Structure 1
Amino acid sequence: MALIRAADVHAFLVGEAFMRAPDPGARLRELFYAEGRTMSLRPPAHAGLRHVALFVEPFEACERFYVDLLGMHVEWRPDADNVYLTSGHDNLALHRGPPPAAQGQRLDHIGLLLVRIEDVDPWHEFLRDNGVPIVAAPRTHRDGARSFYCLDPAGNRVQIIFHPPLAGALRPLR
């Protein structure tokens, strides 16, 4: 730490494990140290989890579900067995066929974020009225979120959710 300060770098100790300091471009960088290992710079922060890929069957019915009912758009169709969908700031890849036998691969659900809590129940009614299997009715969670669960045609659980910590950063895509 003394060497870094001697080089006139404004840095501060965050704990015994690492420190943070701006790079020449004023981006915050973190140094990590573990006994027996050398220090390394953490790369720039990522933009969040924005891509999910699912093996689905029936393929065409799943595409219709995400496009026609949930309002996603086809971003790219490289071939007849793959389609990439988007809502504008995310990417959902649908791959035709059952998942390969992967031990330990367990997906509980994927989520579609809503901007307003008042939109949860109308989405529930719309999907129910369109024959989408509902797994859990709308409910308000202890953290103030409100959601329900349904199934896509391949049986994947989809949570339609208003989540307060994320809602402030969202805007409707239409």
Structure 2
Amino acid sequence: MTGPFDQHVTFLYAEDPAPSWRFYEDVLGLPLAQDQGSCRIYAVAAGGRAFLGVCRARGPRVTDNPRVQGGAVVTFVHSDVEGWHDRLRDKGVEIAAPPRFSDTYRVTSFFFKDPAGYTLEIQRFERPDWPAPGT
């Protein structure tokens, strides 16, 4: 059968994953779905459909630029972008700029990095053609 998949997991890798594990658990508050020893998998969306795995890397990062081939930006979609900005700032997360609206993509978002250097984004779609959560 083809079509949408049942679940999704994105894996990130860190030479020392412990600071990243603390970040995703304590700062972002993601619930731990599974601890595999050298890899922890977190639930990132209601309904058990989307997960983020943070694992011990087998080598150092090649680049910090997420917008080159092989790079990544992990985006969390939430209706309260401004609230997340304030929460993360209050927890000491370095954020380059406050939430901004993009005319090009019709989203409001801001960017920050996790302890392993991955670029993360919290975003709200400001367009009626984006599927609502749970659809």
CA displacement, residues 57-104 of structure 1 (integer Å, 9 cap, x when unaligned): 43122112112222211111122x1111113321111111354678x8
Identify the match of residue 155 of structure 1 among 108, 117, 122.
117
- Cα distance change of structure 1 residues 98 and 122 upon mapping to structure 2, 3 Å threshold: farther
**RMSD (Å) for aligned C-alpha atoms:** 2.7
Which residue of 2 is the match for residue 71 of structure 1? 29
**The residue matched to 2:117 in structure 1 has which SS?**
coil
CA contact (8 A) 1:74 1:85 kept: yes
Unmatched runs of 5 consecutive residues or more in structure 1: 1-42
CA contact (8 A) 2:101 2:108 kept: yes
Which residue of 2 is the match for residue 120 of structure 1? 81
**The residue matched to 1:136 in structure 2 has which SS?**
coil
**The residue matched to 1:128 in structure 2 has which SS?**
helix
After the TM superposition, which residues 72-87 of structure 1 pair with which residues of structure 2 at under 5 Å, given as runs?
A: 72-79=30-37, 81-87=38-44
Which residue of 2 is the match for residue 169 of structure 1? 132
Aligned partners of 1:152, 1:101: CA distance in 2, in Å? 13
Q: Percent identity?
A: 28
Which residue of 1 is the match for residue 53 of structure 2? 93
Query: Taking CA–CA contacts closer than 8 Å with sequence separation of 6 or more, which of the two structures ends up with the larger relative contact order?
Result: 2
Larger Rg: 1
| TM-aligned CA deviation for residue 48 of structure 1 | 8.0
CA contact (8 A) 1:133 1:150 kept: yes
CA contact (8 A) 1:113 1:162 kept: yes
- Cα distance change of structure 1 residues 101 and 64 upon mapping to structure 2, 3 Å threshold: closer
Aligned partners of 2:113, 2:58: CA distance in 1, in Å? 16
Please report the TM-score for the alignment, with normalisation by the length of structure 1: 0.61
Unmatched runs of 5 consecutive residues or more in structure 2: 63-67
Tell me the matched-pair count.
124
Please report the TM-score for the alignment, with normalisation by the length of structure 2: 0.76
**The residue matched to 2:71 in structure 1 has which SS?**
coil
* One-letter identity of the residue aligned with 1:129: D
| TM-aligned CA deviation for residue 145 of structure 1 | 0.9
**The residue matched to 2:72 in structure 1 has which SS?**
coil
Aligned partners of 1:56, 1:107: CA distance in 2, in Å? 14
